[in-house]
Amino acid sequence: MELVSLFFEVNKLPIFFIYGLIFFLMGFAIFIRATVDSQVVLIRHLKVLGLFGIVHSFADWGEMFLPLQEHYFTQEFFIGLTTFKVFLTAVSFLILFIFAFNLISDSRNVPNRSIFRKLPYVMFAAWVLISIILFVTVSDTSEWINIIEALNRYLLAFPSASITFIAFYLQKEEFIRKSLNQLLPYIYLFVFSFALYAFTQLFPNPAPFKPALFLNAETFNKVTGIQIHFFRWISGLTMSIAVLRVLSIFDIEHLDRIKENERVKAVLIERNRIAMELHDGIIQLIYGLGLNLQRIQLIVEKRPTVAVLELTKASQKVNETISQIRSYIMELKDYHVINQDIKELIRELASDFKSMFAGKMDITFKGDFQGISFNDDQVHHILSIIKQMINNAVQHGKPKEILVECEVNNNELSFTVVDNGKGMKINEEGLEDLINSLPEDKQGLKNILMRVKMLNGSVKLQSNHKKGTKINFVIPINERR
């Protein structure tokens, strides 16, 4: 312990420089990264914490530079600089106060929010007022500086740091709610660092009033053998580490925005495809049926046999139209994916198609599906891919038989649809080349490839004219429950 104390005493100036540098870099990192808006309450307020770090760093560097300049300035000017350093420290704690109060008021339904947010200014004004009164009543200027510096620690530093660690603790609910569990340890690191920082503020430099008379940095050093600046240094370091890690939220949100844009793009493409097929398929069928029925109405009395034959054809067209409408309904059906087993969702989806398919459809499952876990967006993409694959086979392939196979192999989920339908004149190519080479009428297949790519998977397609189609996609399994 004595060795640590001696180390801090001998290296006091470099330590103060590093201590100030830690806060400066923390603030600088926040201002560099926090350039876009965020959906996370904590991140929206981080710039205020960054301002605290930068202002506080200059105040701490004053602790290093002022003793070096004492012999080069007049006493009055030196006292003025020291007073300014104490005032700058107080301003930094005011900023920390503002950060904590604003964070709490935006995280909780705080009554009288506007009054609540004014409390930091009241505390700062109280400290300034007391400092002015003491300036008039205390004759020794050095003693006055020690007193207002100690009051700064008690009235501003300790309360602001204490409220800040509470404010950080309250953020854990939002991080859990927004699936940011990987960053929760750094929220707890924030709580620890500011709790430790609050503790260190209880030990100011000695001042001629209680409790600073006996509860100060010197007595702490004598009792523990460690200077209080060591713990302030540790709190600042852990604070900066937590900030750097929490700032990764910007990367997470950026990736989420990219995924959301891709999802919206896929939905819009799907809507356009369905709208086009409705217009070119079902609507034209219905319009043709209407014209045919009008023609039958004109010939029913003179040529009843022909009219009956035409009505039979019209009935077949109606059934065909109903089948197509069912197919579109299947594509639009939304499956409840929350807390559902992926195997059961796939089984339900395949069963729905099986009930409307006139031919033979078999579905098989291979491997261990127990505990496979995907998030809601991933499940949505998986089901959409499967729907499109089966629908393509039913609607375009016109097969008599479809085989659906779902397999778990190691850490991969594989899904295959094989039909004996018409097939396509298309060769197996690379994923990107295949997307670009497909004609406009193969938009459904483009959607499959787009969604598989979003799941970091791969697609294989084999098809020959009049010999059927085999399409397979493989995606990684992220985790098991």
Residue 205 corresponds to which amino acid?
N
Please check whether residues 433 and 463 belong to one and the same domain.
Answer: yes
| Alpha-carbon gap, residue 481 to 478, rounded angstroms | 10
Please check whether residues 274 and 316 belong to one and the same domain.
Answer: yes
pLDDT in tens, 429-472: 554 565 566 655 556 677 787 788 878 888 888 877 777 888 88
Please check whether residues 307 and 341 belong to one and the same domain.
Answer: no
- Could you tell me if residue 420 is inside a domain? yes
- Could you tell me if residue 8 is inside a domain? yes
pLDDT: is 238 or 63 the higher one? Answer: 238
- Could you tell me if residue 253 is inside a domain? no
Please check whether residues 33 and 151 belong to one and the same domain.
Answer: yes
Please check whether residues 373 and 353 belong to one and the same domain.
Answer: yes
CATH code at position 473: 3.30.565.10
Please check whether residues 118 and 213 belong to one and the same domain.
Answer: yes
Would the pLDDT of 136 be above 80? Answer: yes
pLDDT of residue 2: 60
Please check whether residues 240 and 305 belong to one and the same domain.
Answer: no
Q: Is the peptide bond before 211 cis (omega within 30 degrees of 0)?
A: yes
Please check whether residues 320 and 444 belong to one and the same domain.
Answer: no
pLDDT of residue 164: 94
| Alpha-carbon gap, residue 413 to 406, rounded angstroms | 7
Would the pLDDT of 73 be above 60? Answer: yes
Please give the tally of structural domains in the chain.
Answer: 3
pLDDT of residue 148: 93
Q: What is residue 239's DSSP assignment?
A: H
- Could you tell me if residue 157 is inside a domain? yes
Among candidate residues 299, 315, 332, the one where a domain is terminated: 332
- Could you tell me if residue 125 is inside a domain? yes
Please check whether residues 126 and 265 belong to one and the same domain.
Answer: no
Q: Which helix (H) or strand (E) holds 460?
A: strand 458-464
Mean pLDDT of 363-392: 81
pLDDT: is 152 or 323 the higher one? Answer: 152
Which residues span the domain enclosing 31? 2-247
- Could you tell me if residue 252 is inside a domain? no
157: its two tokens: 């530093």
Longest dimension (CA), the chain: 125
pLDDT of residue 99: 93
pLDDT of residue 426: 63
pLDDT in tens, 338-366: 446 778 888 887 777 776 677 788 888 88
Least confident segment among 10-24, 63-77, 115-129: 63-77
